[in-house]
Amino acid sequence: MSLPDAIIPCAQIVEKGDPLRFRTVMAAPVAARAILFPLYAFNIEVSRAPWVTQEAMIAEMRLQWWRDALEEIAEGKPVRKHEVTTPLADILSPVQAKRLDESVAARRWDIYRDAFEDQAHMDAYIDQTAGHLMWTACDVLGARPEAEKSVRDLAFAAGTAGFLRAVPELADAGRLPLLDGTDNGVAALAGRAADRLARPRVARSVQPALWPAIGAAVTLKQAARDPGSVAEARLDPGVTPFRLARTALLGRLVL
Q: What is the pLDDT of residues 225-235, one digit of tens each?
A: 999 999 999 99
Taking the C-alpha atoms of residue 223 and residue 234, their distance in angstroms, rounded to an integer, is: 9
| pTM attached to this predicted model | 0.95
Residues 6+ apart with CB under 8 A from 131: 151, 152, 155, 156, 159
Contact 17, 235 (CB under 8 A): no
Whole-angstrom Cα Rg for the chain: 17
Taking the C-alpha atoms of residue 129 and residue 104, their distance in angstroms, rounded to an integer, is: 8
Q: How many CB atoms lie within 10 A of CB 119?
A: 13
Give me the tens of pLDDT residue by residue for the chain, a chain 255 residues long. Answer: 578 888 999 999 999 999 999 999 999 999 999 999 999 999 999 999 999 888 999 999 999 999 999 999 999 999 999 999 999 999 999 999 999 999 999 999 999 989 999 999 999 999 999 999 999 999 999 999 999 999 999 999 999 999 999 999 999 998 999 999 999 999 999 999 999 999 999 999 999 999 999 999 999 999 999 999 999 999 998 888 889 989 888 878 877
Taking the C-alpha atoms of residue 159 and residue 168, their distance in angstroms, rounded to an integer, is: 16
SS (H, E, C) the chain: CCCCHHHHHHHHHHHHHCHHHHHHHHCCCHHHHHHHHHHHHHHHHHHHHHHCCCCHHHHHHHHHHHHHHHHHHHCCCCCCCCCCHHHHHHHCCHHHHHHHHHHHHHHHHHCCCCCCCCHHHHHHHHHHHHHHHHHHHHHHCCCCHHHHHHHHHHHHHHHHHHHHHHHHHHHHCCCCCCCCCCHHHHHHHHHHHHCCCCCCCCCCCCHHHHHHHCCHHHHHHHHHHCCHHHHCCCCCCCCCHHHHHHHHHHCCCCC
* Residues listed for the chain: 255
Q: How many CB atoms lie within 10 A of CB 76?
A: 10
Q: What is the pLDDT of residues 88-140, one digit of tens each?
A: 999 999 999 999 999 999 999 999 989 999 999 999 999 999 999 999 999 99
Residues 241-250 as b/e (b if ≥16 CB within 10 A, e otherwise) read eebbeebbee
**CA 56-102-9 angle, 5° bins:** 80
Taking the C-alpha atoms of residue 158 and residue 156, their distance in angstroms, rounded to an integer, is: 6
